[in-house]
Amino acid sequence: MAGADLDPTRLVTSAPPSYHPSPRAPARPLPPGACDAHVHVFGPAARFPFAPERAYTPGDAPKERLFALHQRLGIERCVVVQSNAHGFDHRATADALAARPGAYVGIALAAPTVSDAELQRLDTAGFRGVRFNFAPHLGNATPIADVIAFGRRLAALRWHLQLYFESPLVHELAPAIAHSPVPVVIDHMGRVDASLGLDHPDFRAVRALSRLPHVWVKVSGAERISRSGPPYADAVPFAHALQDDAPDRVLWGSDWPHPNLGHVPDDGELVDLVGAYAPSAAARQALFVDNPARLYRFGATA
């Protein structure tokens, strides 16, 4: 998926933007140093073409739009997650990190066969981990045994693994995750279906993983697990449970610009939703500031 393999004549075209054009400001200011631990940047496709083998074509969502959103929300730190749309070509993500050095870090996409030199180059650019996708709509997945074995190569960099999967897969993945040699971050509350309730076996398995000392969970994606729609009240009990299970290993992210979603959420509304499951100042400080600072090492040099 390297940039040299791309065909600009095929890849410049992008879909309409999927983000809210004018999100509201949060009702309650975020604590200083607040982090948005899950966003993507897309394009602009004319400068950073999409990968030929991508599973979807997003609309342009460049770093300037992201920076404007964070200024409105009161976000000072950020984790930019490399997208399937850009594949292994990390130029768009690295460009965003370079514009906010130390305050914005990245999560890469990589094959387990990636060279040590490439991992070191990404580390120098501000990357902190590698994401592996197990969602069917994003194409073939790397076997979990290979992912965990690859994790041994990340330990020296102080990187972690990030896993995105649909909730039924948690039972298959859990035994390997339990033995990971590096921290594991589970995306979007394990993509559970909120309509199935807290006692569903899928969510019970996600909670069991969240209690392991090396496992972190993003209480993001309320707009994805909800079946009631905005303001996503049916997602709150799930985030609340995960917050209670491991208050020092939960992270929050907006998932801007919300690719592959059937509606356009208001990011200010997503921030305000946190008050329903992390109402205290201490809980918000941990979720938005202390936990991500510990995992992502903002400002750390290579």
For 170, other C-beta atoms within 10 Å of its C-beta total 25
Backbone dihedral angles phi then psi of residue 139, each to the nearest 5 degrees: 95, -170
Are the CB atoms for 220 and 38 separated by under 8 Å?
yes
- Residue (of 132, 122, 110) closest to 157 by Cα position: 122
Distances in Å between the Cα of 104 and the Cα atoms of 33, 55, 100, 127, 186 are 12, 26, 6, 9, 20
CA end-to-end distance (rounded Å), the chain? 25
SS3 145: helix
Catalytic: 255? yes
- Which of the residues 7, 255, 267, 290 is marked catalytic? 255
Q: What is the CA radius of gyration of the chain?
A: 18
Are the CB atoms for 82 and 106 separated by under 8 Å?
yes
Name the token pair of 162: 């990030």
Q: Show which residues are catalytic.
A: 255
